[in-house]
Amino acid sequence: MKSKIVLLGPPGSGKGTQGEKLSEEMGYVRLSTGDMLREAVRNGAELGMKAKGYMDSGALVPNDLIIDLMKEKISTLEPGTGVIFDGFPRTVEQADALGEQIEIDLALNLDVADCELVERLTKRRSCPECHCVFHLTHNKPRQEGVCDKCGSPLYQRDDDCDETVCNRLEVYRKNTLPLIDYYERKGILVTVEGTGKMDEIFAKVKEAVR
Ligand code: AP5
C-alpha cells in the first residue's frame, strides 16, 4: 500500500514542482487545494466565487470550505491509493480534520529562505489547463509563454505579485508554520533542504518517501 503524504513548506518552496514529479514517477495522486480553488474560480463555481477574494489578497480560504472540499475528494479515492496532499492542511484545524479522515504516514517539509521564495514566485508562470509550473530563469518553457506539457498559453497568477507574496509569507508564518511542530510531535516529519537543483531535491524527496 502506498503512503499518504502531506507536503509542507512556504509558498514557492516547490511543493507543486516536487509533488508533480512524485505523482508522475511514482504514481501518487496529487491533491492540490490551490489548483482546485483556481479551477473553481475559472469555472465560475460557487466555491470559486467564495474563495477568490481571500486568494487574491493572499489570505487563507475559511477552514470549513476547504475541509468540505477535501473530505469530498478523499471519499472518491480507491483504498490503498498513494496520495500527496499539496497545500493542505494549512492550519491546525485542517490537520485535525485530515487526521480524522485518513492516517498520514509522512509530512515532508521543504525548507527554503524567504529571499529565494519571493524571486521564485514573482517569476513563476503557470499553466491554467494542466497546472504545470515554470520559472522565467530557473525552469523556462521550451517555447516562451507556452506550456511544454499541453501547449496552453502560460499566465502569471494574480497572487504572484510582490505585495501579495509578502502577505502570503506572513499568513504562512502565522497559520501554517505551527504544523511543523504538529507533525514532529507525531514523529512523521522529515525536512528536506529545498534550495538547489530541482532534480537533486527530488532525489532527497524520493529517499524520504521510500
Ligand atoms: P497554493 O496554490 O497552495 O499556493 P502556495 O502554498 O502559496 O504554494 P505555491 O503554489 O505558490 O508554491 P509551491 O510551493 O507549490 O511552489 P512551486 O512548485 O509552484 O494556494 C494559493 C491560495 O489558495 C492560498 O494563498 C489560499 O488563499 C488558498 N488556499 C490553498 N489551499 C488552502 C488551504 N488548505 N486552506 C486555506 N486556503 C487555501 O514553485 C514555485 C516556483 O519556483 C516555480 O516557478 C518553480 O518553477 C520554481 N522552483 C521550484 N523549485 C525550484 C528550485 N529548486 N530552484 C529554483 N526554482 C524552483
Cis bond before residue 89 (omega within 30° of 0): yes
Q: Rounded to the nearest whole angstrom, what is the distance from the C-alpha of residue 168 to the centroid of ligand 1?
A: 10
Buried b (16+ CB within 10 A) or exposed e, 26-47: eebebbbbbbbbbbbbeeeeeb
Q: What band does 182 get if pLDDT is binned at 50, 70 and 90?
A: very high
Asked if residue 20 belongs to a domain, the reply is yes
Asked if residue 48 belongs to a domain, the reply is yes
Tell me how far apart the alpha carbons of residues 91 and 103 are, in angstroms, rounded to a whole number: 17
Q: Is the pLDDT of residue 2 over 80?
A: no
Mean pLDDT on 83-93: 97
Mean pLDDT of the chain: 95
Per-residue pLDDT of 99-145, as tens digits, reads 999 999 999 999 999 889 999 999 999 999 999 999 999 999 999 99
Q: What ligand 1 atom has the least distance to the C-alpha of 70?
A: 34
Asked if residue 137 belongs to a domain, the reply is no
Per-residue pLDDT of 28-43, as tens digits, reads 999 999 999 999 999 9
- What amino acid positions are annotated as catalytic residues? 15, 90, 124, 157, 168
Asked if residue 38 belongs to a domain, the reply is yes
Asked if residue 17 belongs to a domain, the reply is yes
Asked if residue 158 belongs to a domain, the reply is no
| For ligand 1, atom 55: residue with the closest CA | 138
CATH number at residue 188: 3.40.50.300
Tell me how far apart the alpha carbons of residues 154 and 100 are, in angstroms, rounded to a whole number: 38
Q: How far is CA 181 from CA 9, 39, 107, 125, 186, in A?
A: 13, 31, 11, 32, 9
Number of structural domains in the chain: 1
Q: Is 78 helix (H, G, I), strand (E, B) or coil?
A: coil
Domain hosting 99: range is: 4-112+169-209
Which burial class, exposed, middle or buried, applies to 137 when counting CB atoms under 10 A from its CB (0-12, 13-18, 19+)?
Answer: exposed
What pLDDT score was predicted for residue 80?
87
Q: How much is the pTM?
A: 0.95
Asked if residue 93 belongs to a domain, the reply is yes
Q: Is the pLDDT of residue 1 over 90?
A: no
* Positive or negative torsion for Cα 30, 154, 164, 51: negative
Asked if residue 42 belongs to a domain, the reply is yes
